[in-house]
Amino acid sequence: MGVRIDSVDERILYHLAADARHTSAPDIAAELDVSAPTVRNRIRRLEEAGVIRGYHAHIDYERVGGRLTNLFTCSTPGTDRERFARRILGVPGVINVKEVMSGRDDLLVTAVGTDTDDITRIARDIKALGVDVEDEDLVHRQHYCPYFPFGPADDRTTTPVTSVADLAGEANVVEITVGEGAPIARRTVEEASEAGLIDDGVLVITIERDDEPITPNGETTFQPDDLVTILSRSALSEETLRTMTGE
C-alpha cells in the first residue's frame, strides 16, 4: 500500500527532485508559506516511510577519464529478480539495477567502464551469474526532471502534461543552442509563448546552462548559449529555428 501524502509533501518532493543539494528547508518553506521546521519534519517523515530513499549525485562519468556508461538489458531465469539484481550490484562497475515487471528483459543494468574491454568484462561477469544479456547500448546523456504533477500550479499551466501525450508517437526531440541575437533570447518562457515565439506544438523540456540542467517554468529566461531540449509535434519550421538561433 502506498504512503498517503498531501499537497505540501508533493511540493517538497518536487523541489528535492529538482535540486536537493541547493534547496534548503527555508527555501521550500517560503514557497509553500509554512515554517522551516514543518518542512524538515515532513522530509524526516518521508524518509522514515521510505518515500525518500536517498540523495544521489548525478555524475557525468565521461568527464572522468573518458569512462563509458553502458545500459544492459538482461533476462533472469526465474521469478526471483531481486536476488539476481542484488548479485549483479556486486559486479565491479555496475552502478544501478532496475527490476522490470515483465516475463523477459526484466532487469535494466547501468554500468560504467574504463574502456570497451572493461564493458565486455562487466557483461561477462553478469552472464557468469546465470543472467542473459539480451541487448546493450552505450549511454550518451541522461536527463532528469522532477515529477511534473507535484510542481506548482503555475508551472502546470505553462507546460501542461497533456501536451506530452499529444506528442507521443510522432514526436521529435531536438536540441538547439540559443543564439546571441535570437528573438527568444532574454525572454521568459511565458513571454516567448505570449509573443507567439514558441509554437503550440513545441514543448520545452530542459535547458542546459554552464553544464547544469534547468527544469523550465514560466519564469525561466532563455539566455544566449543555452542548450534547449524541445519536443516538437512535427519537424521544426524554419521560422522556429530562426526564433531560437537567430540565424
Domain residue limits, the chain: 7-48, 61-138, 152-245
- Of 56-60, 137-141, 200-204, least confident by mean pLDDT is 200-204
Q: How far apart are CA 239 and CA 52, in angstroms?
A: 44
- Cβ(74)–Cβ(107) under 8 Å? yes
Cell digits for 166? 499529444
CATH entry 1.20.58 includes domain 7-48 = no
Strand runs (DSSP E) across 28-181, as ranges?
68-75, 94-99, 107-113, 132-138, 172-177
With cut-offs at 50, 70 and 90, classify the pLDDT of residue 72: very high
DSSP 93: T
- Per-residue pLDDT at 237 exceeds 80: no
Cell digits for 106? 526484466
- pTM metric for this prediction: 0.60
Helices 25-32, 36-48: inter-axial angle, 10-degree rounding? 110
Q: How far apart are CA 114 and CA 91, in angstroms?
A: 14
With cut-offs at 50, 70 and 90, classify the pLDDT of residue 161: very low
DSSP 28: H
- Cβ(93)–Cβ(74) under 8 Å? no
Per the model's pLDDT, the better-predicted residue between 191 and 155 turns out to be 191
pLDDT digits (tens, 9 = 90+) for 9-32: 999 999 999 888 888 999 999 988
With cut-offs at 50, 70 and 90, classify the pLDDT of residue 155: low
Among 201, 211, 207, residue whose Cα is nearest residue 221: 207
Q: CATH: 3.30.1490.20, 3.30.70.920, 3.40.190.10, 1.10.645.10. Which one for 61-138? A: 3.30.70.920
Determine the CATH number of domain 152-245: 3.30.70.1450
Q: What order of strands is seen across the sheet that includes strand 107-113?
A: 94-99, 107-113, 68-75, 132-138
Report the pLDDT value the prediction gives residue 211, as an integer from 0 to 100. Answer: 78
Give the containing element (helix H, strand E) for 244: helix 238-245
Same fold across 61-138 and 152-245: yes
With cut-offs at 50, 70 and 90, classify the pLDDT of residue 51: very high
